[in-house]
Amino acid sequence: CHLRGFIEKYVRRWTSFFNPYIQITFHEYNGDNFCRSKVYSAIESYLIANSSLRASRLRADIANNSRKLILSMDDYEEVTDEFHGVKLWWSSHRSISKTPSLSLYPTAVEKRYYKLTFHGRHRELVTAYYLNHVIDQGKAIEVRNRQRKLYTNIPSESWSSYRKTMWSHVAFQHPATFQTLAMEPEKKKEIVDDLVAFSKGKDYYARIGKVWKRGYLLYGPPGTGKSTMIAAMANLLDYDVYDIELTAVKDNTELRRLLLETSSKAIIVIEDIDCSLDLTGRRKKKEKEEDGHTNKVDPVEKGAEEEGKEKNSRVTLSGLLNFIDGIWSACKGERLIVFTTNHVDQLDPALIRRGRMDKHIELSYCRFEAFKVLAKNYLELDSHRLFERIGQLMGETKMTPADVAEYLMPKIQSGCAETCLENLIRALELEKEETMLKAEEINVKKMPEMLVKEEAKEGSKED
Ligand SMILES: Nc1ncnc2c1ncn2[C@@H]1O[C@H](COP(=O)(O)OP(=O)(O)OP(=O)(O)O)[C@@H](O)[C@H]1O
C-alpha cells in the first residue's frame, strides 16, 4: 500500500512536469463540515447561468422552495468559459465513498465537486481575478433567484421554561412596486434614488466608517400606502422583510437577539411605533388601563410583577435607540429600518432625529398625480374626460388612496371604467359637502366666542 502511494505520487509529479495545465477542485462539502460550501454553491449558480446550457448532457432538478426547473450540467460533463480572452474548462464530478456508521452497514456518501482547468501561464489571472469574478457573479445570481421571505416574531414555548419569541416566515409575494405606488412622481423618484444609492453604497459606508444601514420614517393617515411602500422597497432591493411585533418581545436582550438573527439584506419594520412602545420606556397607558379593568391578580403579586416589568422587561426607548444605533456594527450586510406611524407628532424626537431615521416620508391623501397612477393600475387609463373634474375635487377633499382604489375596481363596482370614475366623483362630491358642513358647524360653534371678541373690540374702540 505504501509502495502504491509512493509510485502514484511520483507519477503525478512526473506528468505534471510535462503537463502545462493547472486544475483546481471545489468540493460541495469540505472535511467534516456538514454545511454546503458557499463557494461551491456560487460556482454552481454561475455555471447554471453562464455555461451549463451549452453542455450536451444536462441534469434537471427542482429548485428549493419553488417549482422552478433548474438545468445544470450533468456529472462528468465539461463546459468552457472565457475570461479576458483566456479559455478555461469547468467539469463536474461525483464520487461515492463508504463511511463507517453506527449501524452494521456502512453508509454510501455521494460527494460532488467541480474541477477548473486552465493553462499555467494564466495562473495569476485566474487566482487573483477570475475566481473572484465567478464567486461574486454566482452570489449575485443566488440573491436574484432566492425566494425572499416575510418574517414575523411569534412567541414560542421552548423546552426550557423561558418563553421567547422566534422568527417565523412565509414566502414574500407582495406584488407592490414603486411603479404601482400612487404618489407624486418627483417624490417617488427621490425615494427610489435614495434606496438605490443606499443599496450600492457598500464601499461608501465602509470609507466613511459608518454601519451600512438607513432609517426611514413613514407617516400619514391609515390607508395612505405605508405598508404598500415597504413592500415596494423590498421588491425594489430584493430584501427580506422582518416585521417586528414589539409588544411580543420580552425585553431589550430579546430584541437584540432577534435583530442579530436577521439576514444580510433585510428591511426591519416596526409598524405603528407609537402604539408598540410607550416612549418613556413603560408599557402603553391604554394597556395599563385595560389591566386595571380585567386584573384579578392578587395586588401584592401584581405589584411584584409590575416592578419586575419596569426593571427588566419589555422593550424600552433606550433599548430601541440602542438597536438603531448600535448592534449593527456586529452584522455584515445592508439593513433598512422602517418605522411607520399615524401620529408623527407623538413620537419622541430622540427616536426620529436624523441619523436614526434618515428620511422622513409623509404619505398623504390622494392628489391628482397619485390618482393618475391608480387609474393606470386599476383601469389602464392614461386620460379620460372625467379626469379634470376629479382633479378639481381632489384638491378640495381628503380621500385616502385606499378609498380611491376601492372606487376604481370595475369588478367590485360592476361596471366599466366610466362608471367607476362617475362613482368616484359622486363620492368625492359627498366628501366635499361633508367637509363644508363640518366647517360650517365649527364656525357656528365658534360664533358666540367671536361675538364676544367683536364686542370687546368695539368696547375698547369706544373707550
Ligand atoms: N399610495 C398608494 N398606492 C397604491 N395603493 C395604495 C396606496 N395607498 C393605499 N393603497 C391601497 O390601499 C390598501 C391599504 O394601504 P396600506 O395598507 O399600504 O396603507 P397604510 O398607510 O399602511 O395603512 P395603515 O396605517 O392602516 O396600516 C393597499 O392594499 C393598497 O391597495
Residues 215-264: pLDDT tens digits?
999 999 999 999 999 999 999 998 999 999 888 888 888 888 888 888 88
Which of 184, 227, 372, 409 for a ligand 1 pocket mutation test, highest count of atoms within 8 Å of Cβ?
227
Say yes or no: CB of residue 372 within 6 Å of ligand 1: no
DSSP state string for 84-120: TTEEEEEEEEEEEEEE--SSSSPEEEEEEEEEEEEEG
Q: pLDDT higher for 1 or 311?
A: 1
Q: 128 pairs with which residues across the strands?
A: none
Is the C-beta atom of 402 inside 6 A of ligand 1?
yes
Task: State the burial class of residue 376 (Cβ atoms within 10 Å of its Cβ: 0-12, 13-18, 19+).
Answer: middle
Tell me the whole-structure pTM to 2 decimals: 0.70
Higher pLDDT, 416 or 463: 416
In which band, very low, low, confident or very high, does the pLDDT at 86 lie, cut at 50, 70 and 90? very high
- Ligand 1 atom with the smallest distance to the CA of 366 is 1
- Average pLDDT value over all residues in the chain: 81
- Cα torsion 405, 411, 417, 422: sign: negative
CB of 232 within 6 A of ligand 1: the answer is no
Q: What is the pLDDT of residues 283-302, one digit of tens each?
A: 444 444 444 444 433 333 34
Atom in ligand 1 nearest the alpha carbon of residue 181? 3
- Tell me how far apart the alpha carbons of residues 359 and 361 are, in angstroms, rounded to a whole number: 6
Closest Cα to residue 133, out of 66, 50, 199, 30?
A: 50
**If you measure from the C-alpha of residue 222 to the centroid of ligand 1, how many angstroms do you get, rounded to a whole number?**
7
pLDDT score at 422 = 93
User: Does the Cβ of 362 fall within 6 Å of ligand 1?
Assistant: no
Provide the β-strand partners of residue 240.
266
Cell numbers placing 210: 459608518
Distance 223 CA to ligand 1 centre (A): 4
Instruction: Give the CA distances from residue 302 to residues 284, 316, 349, 385, 457, in Å, rounded to whole numbers and listed in that order.
Output: 17, 20, 33, 66, 58
Asked if 292 contacts 285 with a C-beta cutoff of 8 angstroms, the reply is: no
Q: Is the pLDDT reported for residue 194 higher than 80?
A: yes
Find the 92 Cα to ligand 1 centroid distance in Å: 49
Task: Give the ipTM.
Answer: 0.97
403 CA distance to ligand 1 middle (Å)? 9
Q: Ligand 1 centre and the CA of 54: distance in Å?
A: 46
Query: What's the alpha-carbon Rg for the chain, to the nearest Å?
Result: 32
The listed range with the strongest mean pLDDT (23-27, 58-62, 323-327) is: 23-27
The atom of ligand 1 lying closest to the CA of 230 is 18
pLDDT band at 54 (very low <50, low <70, confident <90, very high): confident
The pLDDT assigned to 299 comes to 37
Average pLDDT over residues 126-141: 92
At 158 the pLDDT is 54
Specify the pLDDT at position 303.
39
Rounded distance from Cα 401 to ligand 1 centre (Å): 7
Question: How high is the pLDDT of residue 328?
Answer: 67
Architecture of domain 149-277+315-362: 3-Layer(aba) Sandwich (3.40)
Q: Is 223 helix (H, G, I), strand (E, B) or coil?
A: coil
Q: Which atom of ligand 1 approaches the CA of 220 most closely?
A: 21
Which residue minimizes the CA distance to atom 12 of ligand 1?
402
Q: Where are the domains of the chain?
A: 2-145, 149-277+315-362, 386-459
CB-based contact 305:281 (threshold 8 Å): no
Determine if ligand 1 sits within 6 Å of the CB of residue 182: yes
Atom of ligand 1 lying closest to residue 218 CA: 21
223 lines ligand 1 (CB under 6 A): yes
Distance 65 CA to ligand 1 centre (A): 29
